[in-house]
Amino acid sequence: MKRQTFIKKTGSVLLGPFVALSCIKKSDDQSVTPSTASTSGTCKVGDTETDGPYPLYNKRDASITHTDITEGKTGLPLSMAITIRNINNNCDVVPNARVDVWHCDKDGYYSGYVNQGYLGNQDNTAKTFCRGIATADASGVARFQTIYPGWYQGRVTHIHAQIYVGGQLKLTTQIAFPEDLNTAVYNTDLYKAHGQNSTKNTTDSIIRDSLSNELATVNANQVSGGYDLIHTINIAV
C-alpha cells in the first residue's frame, strides 16, 4: 500500500469528525477467541501507517504496561484480541511479541496532549488513558480491555498499533472499524452528543488504500453490552 505521511504535533491540536465497515455479529460471552491455527498458505506483511500525531513515546513504560487501558474513561466496552503472525515462518504466530496500542476516547480526545475538540480545549498531558502495552501469549495473541473509540475531524474511527520483537520495532499500523457499526455506536446515548462522522473508510486519507488488511472483525457482546474486536497483524521477523 502507499505509505502515508502525517505531521506530528506536540502542542494544541484541532480535533473533530470520523467512521468505518464489516459485518456485526453477536457473542454471548465476554471472551474473545481468535483463530490461532497456523496457516500453510502465503501471507503478506501488514500495511505501514503513520504513528502520529499522538504516539507519546515518552510514556511507553511500565505505567501503561497493562491490558485494561480505560483508566476510568466512559464508553461502550471493547475487548481486543490481536494475533501477531510472522510472514517469514509460514504465517505462524509470534509468542512474546510486544503490542503497543493507543486511540482517542469516546469524544475524540487523546491522552498525553493538549487537544481542542467539540468540547473545547482539554489538557490531557498528564494522562495515559486508552494507551497500553501487552505481550502476546503462547498463541501469539495480545489482549486489551478498552472502550469503543470516538472520532476526530478528518479521520475515520481507528486504533494505532505498533509491534516489537526482541526490542525492535517491526511494524507501525492502524486498525479500522466497520462503518455500519460506527454509525450504530455513535447513535447511542454515550456517543450521540458528538454526532456522526463524515469521514468514511473509503475517504480516509490513511486507511482507504489498506482496508483489506486493516479492517477488524467486530462482534457485539451480549454480556458486556459492548463489542469484541478480533484482528490479525502480519509482520516480518
pLDDT computed for residue 6 by the predictor: 39
Q: Note whether 202 and 20 are within 8 A (CB).
A: no
Gap between the Cα atoms of 80 and 41, Å rounded: 25
- In terms of phi and psi (left: phi > 0; alpha: psi -120 to 50; beta: otherwise), the region of 223 is alpha
Q: What is the DSSP letter of 9?
A: -
Q: What are the grid coordinates assigned to 151, written together?
A: 472520532
Gap between the Cα atoms of 56 and 113, Å rounded: 8
Taken in order of first residue, the domains within the chain and their CATH numbers are 13-34+41-235 (2.60.130.10)
Gap between the Cα atoms of 76 and 106, Å rounded: 9
Q: pTM for this structure?
A: 0.85
pLDDT computed for residue 137 by the predictor: 98
Of 64, 199, 214, 52, the closest CA to residue 127 belongs to 64
pLDDT computed for residue 42 by the predictor: 80
pLDDT computed for residue 192 by the predictor: 97
pLDDT of 6-38, one tens digit each?
A: 333 333 333 333 223 233 334 444 456 664 444
**What residues of the chain score a pLDDT lower than 50?**
1-30, 35-40
